Amino acid sequence: MEYLKVDQVFDLVGQGDLDTLRSYVSDSFDWNVVHPKEKITLLQEGMFLGLSSQRAASKAMETITWLLGKGADPGKKVTMGVGFELDGVDMDAGAEYSAASLTVQLRTEFLNTANLPPSDWRVMFLTSALAALAVVVRQDSLGAKVLIDESLQDRWERVLHASCHDVAFEVNDGCVGAHVAVLSQSSPVLQAMLSSGSFREAESKVIQVPDCDVKGLRLFLDLLYTGGTREEVAVDMALAALDPAHRWQGLAAGGCPREDLGRPTHREDLRGSC
């Protein structure tokens, strides 16, 4: 069988033609490939399809969901080679976005710049897309799931929220504490930052994350320490946690199945200061 080329796959995603994609794309195809000219990802192509017309929005949502299931990464950042203009929203080429951050930015622009109501079909499409992007994980990062005693998870929650932290994350609305040993064993990026003399974080034990908030960082740490969370996870909170998970290659957070993102009961407030 002759399989489709990269530009042909982008064309089919832009049309929402899932039948052809399922039939003629190789099993080994890289679903995180970047368009050679437009410099966008397949997920971003799906976003543009969904905003092209109200009729296309449902087809785009189905396509985006399918791409996520194939392993497309919503956190992959690219410097986009194309711009976007629709209903007063103008985004220039040359900006760096992932599918997740692009969707957040577009939704914000439609609501605040174009003054569209939340009930507008474009805003509703972007909201649905955000919900899908926020809880997905890359298929190749999923580890084997095993049953553990709940007391073990509770113990790690207490460790996370105890006051014996030896490293702090400074975010845009506060400070969150953690433990060097746990971070180093969970993320090769954080291990390098906290152990190498070439990084200021190794000496200061302070990691600055100005583009994340306390809720997002705490969710990231919940997933990193315990593989789940007792919090109710809103879309913006989950998106905020996605960025550090991808940036630092946090193993537990990057590989947490979506059903583990929300356990129904709220935990007691065990948070310590950093």
Confidence of residue 257 (pLDDT cuts 50, 70, 90): very low
Share of the chain above pLDDT 70, in %: 82
Closest among 60, 58, 36 to 46, alpha carbons compared? 60
Q: Rounded to a whole number, what is the distance in angstroms from the first to the last CA of the chain?
A: 58
pLDDT value at 59 more than 60: yes
H or E element in which residue 169 lies: strand 167-171
Tally the residues of the chain. Answer: 274
From residue 48, alpha-carbon distances to 26, 52, 63, 150, 155 in Å are 24, 6, 12, 43, 45
pLDDT value at 253 more than 50: no
Q: Domain check: are 85 and 172 in the same one? A: no
Q: Domain check: are 12 and 118 in the same one? A: yes
Q: Which one is predicted more confidently, 147 or 156?
A: 156
Q: Is residue 268 part of a domain?
A: no
Q: Is 219:240 a contact under the CB 8 Å cutoff?
A: yes
Closest among 13, 11, 140, 7 to 64, alpha carbons compared? 13
- How confident is the prediction for the chain on average, in pLDDT? 80
- Which residues make beta-bridge pairs with 86? 89
Number of domains in the chain: 2
Q: Is residue 1 part of a domain?
A: no
Please give the angle made by the CA atoms of 168, 194 and 244, to the nearest 5 degrees. 60
For residue 21, give its domain range: 6-136
pTM of the model: 0.56
The count of other CB atoms within 10 Å of the CB of residue 144 is: 5
Q: Is residue 163 part of a domain?
A: yes
Q: Domain check: are 112 and 180 in the same one? A: no
Q: Domain check: are 14 and 115 in the same one? A: yes
User: 3-state DSSP: the chain helix, strand, coil percent, rounded to 5?
Assistant: 50, 10, 40
Closest among 153, 104, 151 to 252, alpha carbons compared? 153
Calculate mean pLDDT across residues 64-72: 91
Calculate mean pLDDT across residues 230-249: 72
Q: Domain check: are 13 and 98 in the same one? A: yes
Domain boundary among 101, 136, 171: 136
